[in-house]
Amino acid sequence: MDETGIVIILLCFLTAAVIVFWTRKKAGKTMDAIERMLDAAMDGSFSETIFDESKLSALETKFAHYLSAAEISSRNAAWEKDRMKSLIADISHQTKTPIANLLLYSELLMEEVISMEEVMSMKEVIPMEEVMSVEEAMPMEQVMPMEQVMSVEEAMPMEEVTPMEEVMSTEENLLASVKANVDALHKQSEKLRFLIDSLVKLSRLENGIISLSPRRTPLQPLLQGIAEQYTAKAAEKGLSLHLHNTDIYAVFDSKWTAEALANIVDNAVKYTEHGTISISAVSYEMFVRIDISDTGAGIPESEQSRIFARFYRSGASQEQEGVGIGLYLARQIISDEGGYIKVISAPGKGSTFSVFLPKERQFFQNR
């Protein structure tokens, strides 16, 4: 190979090296420019700086349009959130007073019914001798002569004379009917208040208006408070509620986790007719498991995936009071804390609801 060929080959290699270097340098500048654009977009200071026919200028223009659209969308989302927050606050405020009035009036009516019952009972226990003594104490001019009494009774048609026992029976029936209606009014008012409160809480959680503040806290005070809250209610049904003490710590928001666990324990008491309800905790490497077990009727496997749906109530639970929102709210709270809920149940063998909470804050942050 002569010298001319060698020179040509060297020139080709040199040209290729220059082209590769120039291309990489240009790509590096482009990447640096894109990185600066992204940094500026993240801190909100992005603006177009290149105004020519280059592709980088076109990229800046498209990026600016995208950021403008994203900002408008973000403002709209923030506006919708503020509007929803205001609407929820208005609903909560506007319904609170009427519901409170309904409860107040139903309680006043119940007190009047009780007073009427006391009056009726007094009528039944006044001896005839006391009635005669009252008549004897009346002045003679106020006592109607017997002849006049007889003439009045004779003048009254027989069908208008109602025996005292029938009058008393009619009053008692009317009183019982009024009492039943007032009691139903009070129960429905309580149910309405619970429903409105639950929906407001749920809406605030779902829309991010309420932010949970999980922190590493001992479980014992939380579980102790739940047990004390429902011991009396369980005893009224002849149930025993057992709490297994624990020294385990977990990451949770005390107020809202108490709300979630209370909903589960309330269901356990409500749907258990005899036996026991137990609350215990088990520690794992990453999670803490809280078990709430009962000896109730149990839940068929076909329904276990639906019991956490909003407003879902199985056919077997229709006779019990409730609106079907407690378990949905409980799962929403536990999920927002980085945990989850599982249920193990079989008809006739009771149920166990297991609530899993992060054991350390790092596990909560990683979810």
Reported as a pLDDT band with limits 50, 70 and 90, residue 340 is very high
Is the pTM above the cut of 0.75? no
pLDDT tens by residue, 206-218: 666 667 889 999 9
Report yes or no: 221 and 229 within 8 Å, Cβ to Cβ. Answer: no
Give the residue, 165 or 276, on which the prediction is more confident: 276
pLDDT of residue 265: 96
Question: Strands 249-252 and 340-345, how do they pair?
Answer: unpaired
Note whether 310 and 326 are within 8 A (CB): no
Task: Tell me the per-residue pLDDT of 113-135, one tens digit each, with 9 for 90 and over.
Answer: 677 666 666 655 555 455 455 44
Q: How many degrees, rounded to 5, is the angle at CA 67 between CA 65 and CA 71?
A: 120
pLDDT tens by residue, 285-306: 999 999 999 999 899 888 888 8
Residue 283: closest CA among 214, 210, 358, 351: 358
Where residue 2 falls among pLDDT bands split at 50, 70, 90?
low
Average pLDDT, the chain: 77
Looking at residue 143, its pLDDT comes to 47
CATH 3.40.640.10 for domain 215-366, yes or no, is no
What integer pLDDT is reported at residue 207 of this predicted model?
A: 67
Is it the case that residue 360 has pLDDT exceeding 50? yes
> 270 φ, ψ to 5°?
-65, -40
Please tell me which residue, 58 or 20, carries the higher pLDDT value.
Answer: 20
Average pLDDT over residues 219-225: 96
